[in-house]
Amino acid sequence: MTRQAMALSETQTADAMLRARAQRVVPGGMWGHLNAARLPEGYPQFFASAEGCRVRDVDGREYIDFMCSWGPVLLGHKHPEVQAAAEAQAALGDCLNGPGEVMVELAEDFVAMVPHADWAMFQKNGGDATTACVTIARAGTGRRKVLVAKGSYHGALPWCSPSVAGVTSEDRAHLLHFEYNDIASLQAAVAEAGKDLAAILVTGFRHDIARDLEMPTREFAAAARAVCDATDAALILDEVRTGLRLDVRGSWEALGVRPDLAAWSKAIANGYALAAITGNDKFREAATKVFVTGSFWCGAVAMAAARTTLRIARETDVPSHIRSMGLRLREGLTSLANQHGIAIRQSGPPQMPLMLFDADPEVKKGRAFCSAALRHGAFFHPVHNMFLSSAHQAADIDAALEAASHGFKAVRALS
Amino acid sequence: MTRQAMALSETQTADAMLRARAQRVVPGGMWGHLNAARLPEGYPQFFASAEGCRVRDVDGREYIDFMCSWGPVLLGHKHPEVQAAAEAQAALGDCLNGPGEVMVELAEDFVAMVPHADWAMFQKNGGDATTACVTIARAGTGRRKVLVAKGSYHGALPWCSPSVAGVTSEDRAHLLHFEYNDIASLQAAVAEAGKDLAAILVTGFRHDIARDLEMPTREFAAAARAVCDATDAALILDEVRTGLRLDVRGSWEALGVRPDLAAWSKAIANGYALAAITGNDKFREAATKVFVTGSFWCGAVAMAAARTTLRIARETDVPSHIRSMGLRLREGLTSLANQHGIAIRQSGPPQMPLMLFDADPEVKKGRAFCSAALRHGAFFHPVHNMFLSSAHQAADIDAALEAASHGFKAVRALS
């Protein structure tokens, strides 16, 4: 971390030089949520390597990582057992003329681990999984309307993209919206859908960007389930972001609510590109009927990585560990904020935390905090939920809190 | 290959046992185009390993592979240089908090290799690339209508899926159809789109299933380009299946026609999951404006594999080699068919060949041929274009022709 201290000229860093090259050959220098222009000052665009809970940028600066590749890294970067499983499979083959035995084993693993699941299918992107769930729900019900919460992210395809650039109104023709955790608004959307209700699609918790995270209430989850039971519509749980972090059995299991279909991705293969759908027998025939496929969807290496990731997540109770580490971070941040007399709000499950500053409409405090913490070796995010991994240990959290103390100083210096 | 001779009881093979397990935990036992139920009798569903141009099923039977994982494998399975590049990147990191230097290098590679390309972006599925091209075209033109050829495959998302199960009519609201290679039908579709024409989306050649493949005529390609020039619509070339096999510069380069946007996937990383868009400066701003992204789209390992794949494809002129091997196969099949007095038709570019039997409306001959050839160690497809790889050498083609001779005998035995 000594190199952090080096006063690299802003235009001479490897990151700056790569950004200049990228500007020429990549529209805007980078696409989507990974564009560093959306991040606070000083954040790198380009990364060189990672190990455990530490990620290193192209200028050799190392950070304790609280983004975990925006979710995929559950067990820490380059987890030895996951890597060994992936390498053993790679030595045999990856993308062949069809699936390997590992596809059947992984489907069996999901069915054994996830109570609602009678079957599983695999894809590459989270958006592949949410889209296929909607398609299966429509095929199974013969209906069209899909209810989604306002502001919820379900992927970047035209039907669900948060942007309207290049999207037609027909792409979203059969979406109806409700307010997360608001039963009355859900019932209103159900009434509007009438006999054409195919599905309710809902995330494990409310994790919209730049607002306090919100856990689902037991009543809301039960109401969503009751509507689907009464109408034979599909309850689709979007576990792309939450999967394996809240509860390996499914994020709503503790609420006593099981979906008909669930979309998984991100963490299920600890960074290898994989998505999954789990479903119950009510929607098995529909899942057989739809045509969903992809050139790399039988890739065996990601499936081998997923088997090991799922096993470790179950056997070592990863959700409990990352929850306790998240609580340690949360308590430490509360304590530091109090010491500095700065009002903050922390929300969400501790394993996917968010800290927002009071009276910070333009995120100036959040950005100043993150920039200063980054300079001292902690990679936080100002407005997006963060992610813990099982590689985070108490000493890492404490080191990150030390970096955070510089963040709070920077916020105090703003006023 | 001695095990081929073993009379494995149909229900005791590893493949049969895996199929039975898969029936319980995967809808229909397997999804999409990889479901072996669509293949002739005797084809395995599950694969164990592969090397070069040979693939091995879970019962240890080895085949000379003419599907190349349905396209992705361009240089042969487990190509040593590609594997080494992927492993070197994996030792550093794969899916991190943002891209690595390799993303910029790969974009530079595409821009240098592909004459129409001023920029590149990367995804995972071929369908990600075709969908993003359409989104970019709509964002850039402010229009909605997209012209696609009847029967062309552009992916399995609701807007382009060959199935209607679970798809709404609105998903395809702004698609208009023309007949591939038919300029009058293209003009009619253009007229129907009127001032709302956003793009013409067209595959490198006509490779619809179960019909003779058809190369684009120079006049058709020029007409598509002229329409887009006259209307400022985007000409989108879907190179997902053709990319790197016909011409590394782009499949229409020899026709003197360059697209505005092109979608690539399958072969570009020799089996690693990757897709790409290339575009010209006319659509750079639109590509900056749209929001397209994915959890694994910055994965550095697939990009490292792609850099090596592109380099080898350029430096060793892979299209020429696989064309000459495809011609050897074609000539050998013609000769065998003549010897057996069986009327066949061969079509498509030799590197992506298809052989159909005359008077075979239910593909009984094609299936009998493939089943017999498979038993003798050659993995052909009866109705889908096949794929050659640079691992195929003359001796492999000749061995496959020996297997094919058993296929022709089986066809003769039908009558």
Query: Could you give the number of structural domains in chain A?
Result: 2
Q: Are residues B96 and A77, on separate chains, in Cβ contact within 8 Å?
A: yes
Place of tokens 């159900």: A190
Same domain, A311 and A327: no
**Cα torsion angle, B88, B93, B94, B97, sign:** negative
Q: Give contacts of B287 with chain A, Cβ < 8 Å.
A: 27-28
Helix (H, G, I), strand (E, B) or coil at A47: strand
pTM of the model: 0.97
- Per-residue pLDDT in tens (0 to 9) along chain B, 415 residues: 344 444 556 678 999 999 999 999 999 999 999 999 999 999 999 999 999 999 999 999 999 999 999 999 999 999 999 999 999 999 999 999 999 999 999 999 999 999 999 999 999 999 999 999 999 999 999 999 999 999 999 999 999 999 999 999 999 999 999 999 999 999 999 999 999 999 999 999 999 999 999 999 999 999 999 999 999 999 999 999 999 999 999 999 999 999 999 999 999 999 999 999 999 999 999 999 999 999 999 999 999 999 999 999 999 999 999 999 999 999 999 999 999 999 999 999 999 999 999 999 999 999 999 999 999 999 999 999 999 999 999 999 999 999 999 999 999 999 7
pLDDT in tens, B79-88: 999 999 999 9
Same domain, B153 and B276: yes
Pick from A56, A62, A51, A60: nearest CA to A14: A60
Pick from A137, B184, B154: nearest CA to B175: B154
List the structure tokens of B26: 């995967």
pLDDT in tens, A134-158: 999 999 999 999 999 999 999 999 9
Q: Are residues B34 and A73, on separate chains, in Cβ contact within 8 Å?
A: no
Same domain, B389 and B335: yes
What is the enclosing helix (H) or strand (E) of B218? helix B218-231
Phi, psi of A17, deg, nearest 5: -70, -40
State whether residue A193 sits within 8 Å of chain B by CB: no
Kindly report the CATH number assigned to the domain that includes residue A405: 3.90.1150.10
Same domain, B87 and B219: yes
Same domain, A170 and A292: yes
Q: Are residues A25 and B107, on separate chains, in Cβ contact within 8 Å?
A: yes
- Chain B (199-218) residues lying within 8 Å, Cβ to Cβ, of chain A: none
The pLDDT of residue A1 is 39
Q: Give contacts of B266 with chain A, Cβ < 8 Å.
A: 295
Same domain, B14 and B89: no
CA–CA dist A165, B172 (Å, integer): 18
Helix (H, G, I), strand (E, B) or coil at B385: coil
- Three-state SS for A262-277 is EEECHHHHCCCCCEEE
Q: Are residues B100 and A27, on separate chains, in Cβ contact within 8 Å?
A: no
Distance in Å, alpha carbon of B331 to nearest chain A alpha carbon: 25
Same domain, A184 and A289: yes
Same domain, A325 and A409: yes
Same domain, A344 and A285: no
Domain end, chosen from A315, A334, A360, is at A315
A3: pLDDT strictly greater than 50: no
Probe site for chain A from B57, B67, B83, B97 (most A CB atoms < 10 A): B97
Q: Which domain holds residue B42?
A: 2-77+318-414
Supply the DSSP string of A297-314, one letter for each residue: TT-HHHHHHHHHHHHHHH
Same domain, A253 and A362: no
Q: Are residues B166 and A284, on separate chains, in Cβ contact within 8 Å?
A: no
Helix (H, G, I), strand (E, B) or coil at A102: helix
Distance in Å, alpha carbon of B166 to nearest chain A alpha carbon: 4
A299: pLDDT strictly greater than 70: yes
State whether residue A363 sits within 8 Å of chain B by CB: no
Kindly report the CATH number assigned to the domain that includes residue A147: 3.40.640.10
pLDDT in tens, B143-188: 999 999 999 999 999 999 999 999 999 999 999 999 999 999 999 9
For chains A and B, CB pairs below 8 A equal: 335
CA–CA dist A359, B249 (Å, integer): 54
Same domain, B29 and B166: no
Who's near B394: CB < 8 A, 6+ residues apart?
Answer: B325, B328
Pick from A41, A265, A269: nearest CA to A133: A265
Compute the average pLDDT of residues A110-114.
98
Supply the DSSP string of A114-134, one letter for each residue: -TT-SEEEEESSHHHHHHHHH
Phi, psi of B86, deg, nearest 5: -65, -40
Phi, psi of B301, deg, nearest 5: -65, -50
| Nearest CB to B95 within list A99, A159, A271 | A271
Amino acid at residue number A374? L
Same domain, B291 and B189: yes
What is the β-pairing status of strands A54-57 and B354-357?
unpaired
Domain end, chosen from A315, A347, A376, is at A315
Phi, psi of A213, deg, nearest 5: -70, 155
Distance in Å, alpha carbon of B339 to nearest chain A alpha carbon: 31
- Which residues of A66-206 form beta strands (DSSP E)? 119-123, 145-149, 175-178, 197-203
pLDDT in tens, B235-263: 999 999 999 999 999 999 999 999 999 99
Domain end, chosen from A254, A282, A315, is at A315
State whether residue B23 sits within 8 Å of chain A by CB: no
Phi, psi of B200, deg, nearest 5: -110, 125
**Cα torsion angle, B386, B387, B393, B396, sign:** negative
| Nearest CB to B31 within list A22, A100, A121 | A121
Contact status, residue B352 vs residue B387, Cβ threshold 8 Å? yes
